[in-house]
Amino acid sequence: MLGSDIVSVLSGLGHDVKSLGSQEIDISTPFSVESVLSPYTNADLVINCAAYTKVDLAESEFDKAIAVNGYGVGHLSRFCKSHHLPLIHFSTDYIFDGTNPRPYNEKDKANPINKYGESKFKGEFEFLDSGVKGYIFRIEWLYGLKGNHFVKTISRLAKEKPSLSIVSDQWGSPTWTYDVAEMVASVIHHKPPKGIYHFSSQGYTNWADFARTFLCIQGIQCDIIDIASSQYQTAAKRPLQSRLDITKFLSQGIYTPKRWQDSISEFIKEATY
């Protein structure tokens, strides 16, 4: 979902992009990273969009999650470090426990409450421990034209059922992968100081109100019933407050993300569901 938009945006701007899927490279294996990427050591940078993203399954498949989200990032980071290649990597709001009353900034302490978040935080550690130069962007609540996500799932279910119960006590910022891709292009062009940044759309909402917004845009009639997270049991616990403070990124003055309401409106115009 994220990688396809990044390839599309960068290619459209004239960048020579080599896209490698999971059938071509297995970042959880050092040999695969070394053998597949060795022909491209003259590249300007490496962007890692590979991730194990099955949040609930990560509770029982932690070995698979950490192999990609944790150790895999380490293999990439050390390869890039040894060949003087900058690396762009994506982390998540789920490294936080969701108890902060204000939006999380880059200096707030991580404390993941599920295995997915734990695996992603391990990836951040591996990145920083390697000494590679580059960027970690913590992003959240992604949706896009490809892949499975909340917007696609709820849009389908709302056409099948007269009402849906959706949690309204988890807060964050829905973020279109196309906007993330545009941000990456801006970072490549302007080269702000390397480090960790939070990035998302501007503004915050909860899952129930987000669903109401995009269903209304699509003209889909469905009654959304607010429920608490405690009423919707999942294998992995979710942080209640996933709001990211993007002040540090905005201070660079290189790209201004849209309000989440504007991005979802634009997205719906392009989506086929």
Q: State the Cα–Cα distance between residues 237 and 115, nearest whole angstrom.
A: 9
CB 171 within 8 A of CB 206: yes
Q: How confident is the model at residue 241 (pLDDT cuts 50, 70, 90)?
A: very high
Q: State the Cα–Cα distance between residues 205 and 150, nearest whole angstrom.
A: 14
Q: Which tokens sit at 63?
A: 């070995």
Enclosing H/E stretch for 10 = helix 2-12
In total, the chain counts a number of residues equal to: 273
Q: Give DSSP secondary structure letters for 90-116.
A: EEEGGGS-S--SS-B-TTSPP--SSHH
Q: What is the pLDDT of residue 110?
A: 98
Q: What is the pLDDT of residue 31?
A: 98
Q: pLDDT tens digits, residue range 24-59?
A: 999 999 999 999 999 999 999 999 999 999 999 999
Residue 273 has pLDDT above 80, yes or no: no
Q: What is the pLDDT of residue 41?
A: 97
Mean pLDDT of 140-161: 96
Dihedral over Cα of 147, 153, 98, 246: its sign: positive
Q: What is the pLDDT of residue 272?
A: 80
Q: How far is CA 269 from each of CA 5, 11, 163, 218, 259, rounded to the nearest angstrom? A: 16, 22, 24, 9, 16
Q: Could you confirm whether 204 is annotated as catalytic?
A: no
Q: How confident is the model at residue 243 (pLDDT cuts 50, 70, 90)?
A: very high
Q: pLDDT tens digits, residue range 166-189?
A: 999 999 999 999 999 999 999 999
**What's phi and psi for 104, nearest 5 deg?**
-75, 135
The whole-model pTM stands at 0.96
Q: What is the pLDDT of residue 201?
A: 98
Q: pLDDT tens digits, residue range 57-109?
A: 999 999 999 999 999 999 999 999 999 999 999 999 999 999 999 999 999 99
Q: How confident is the model at residue 236 (pLDDT cuts 50, 70, 90)?
A: very high
Mean pLDDT of 188-194: 98
In the set 52, 71, 104, 116, the catalytic residue is 116
Q: State the Cα–Cα distance between residues 9 and 78, nearest whole angstrom.
A: 27
Q: Which fold has domain 2-149+174-203+243-259?
A: Rossmann fold (3.40.50)
Q: State the Cα–Cα distance between residues 39 and 42, nearest whole angstrom.
A: 8
Where are the domains positioned within the chain? 2-149+174-203+243-259
